[in-house]
Homo-oligomer: A and B are copies of this chain.
Amino acid sequence: MLAMATYHHGDLRPALVRAAQKLLEKAGPEALSLREVARRAGVSHNAPYRHFSGREALLAALAAEGFRRLGEALAATTGRAMGEAYVRFALEHPQLFRLMFGGRLRFARHRPLAEAAAQPYEALLGAFRAQPAIGDPEKAAAAAWALVHGLAHLLLDGHFARQAADPAAFAGDVIGAVRFASRPA
């Protein structure tokens, strides 16, 4: 009996996270219900409360994981490829991206989330600091983040459907058309 000493699950928490990740990409953040996650993990609707303080805490865990993965994807690239990697991440995980940037999560209430959420900007800032030609790397990094973030959002929402037959290529074009030439005046 030692082999199944775990009570029904033993590792319920990761099982809940996996079920939630699948449900998230299928139904979106708004439709992700704790009860459905529990159902998919094979436990009662109320077992998740042993591992998460509530629905928002589970969503925060998913979002934090997303920020970590986005940070890694960016850190693996430089220059223009960084921007393209950012947009690609959004296009590949649309609902996760919406969860991360949907404005619904209270970052201040979930410290690991707040820490993970700072990674994309840090990665961009590091890249701009490595370019001595840039006068104000903080402003340039902010502008670059805003550009790729807006691109990702507008592409996901279909606002460039007419202009962008191939969203990733369109993103590359737009990114290439912009100069962050903020040398000190």
Known contacts A140-B177, A178-B180, A180-B177: A154-B163 contact under CB 8 Å = no
Query: Binding site of A, secondary structure by majority: helix, strand, loop or mixed?
Result: helix
Count of chain A residues near B, Cβ 8 A: 41
Q: How many copies of this protein are present in the complex?
A: 2
For A114, give the chain B residue with the smallest CB separation: B158
Provide the residues of chain B in CB contact with A147, threshold 8 Å: 143, 146-147, 150, 178
| CA A107 to CA B121, docked complex, whole Å | 31
Binary B-proximity of A138-155 (CB < 8 A = 1, otherwise 0): 111011011111110110
Binary B-proximity of A58-87 (CB < 8 A = 1, otherwise 0): 000000000000000000000000000000
Provide the residues of chain B in CB contact with A98, threshold 8 Å: 102-103
For the complex, is A92 an interface residue (Cβ under 8 Å from B)? no
For the complex, is A49 an interface residue (Cβ under 8 Å from B)? no
Q: Which of A134-180 contact B (CB under 8 A)?
A: 136, 138-140, 142-143, 145-151, 153-154, 156-160, 163, 170, 173-174, 177-180
Provide the residues of chain B in CB contact with A156, threshold 8 Å: 103
Provide the residues of chain B in CB contact with A154, threshold 8 Å: 142, 145-146, 149
| CA A175 to CA B116, docked complex, whole Å | 26
Known contacts A148-B150, A179-B181, A182-B177: A142-B163 contact under CB 8 Å = yes
Known contacts A145-B154, A148-B150, A163-B142: A177-B136 contact under CB 8 Å = yes
Provide the residues of chain B in CB contact with A179, threshold 8 Å: 178-181
Q: Which of A138, A142, A173 has the most CB of B within 10 A?
A: A142
Residues of A participating in the B interface, judged by any CB pair closer than 8 Å: 28, 30, 94, 98, 101-104, 107, 117, 121, 136, 138-140, 142-143, 145-151, 153-154, 156-160, 163, 170, 173-174, 177-182
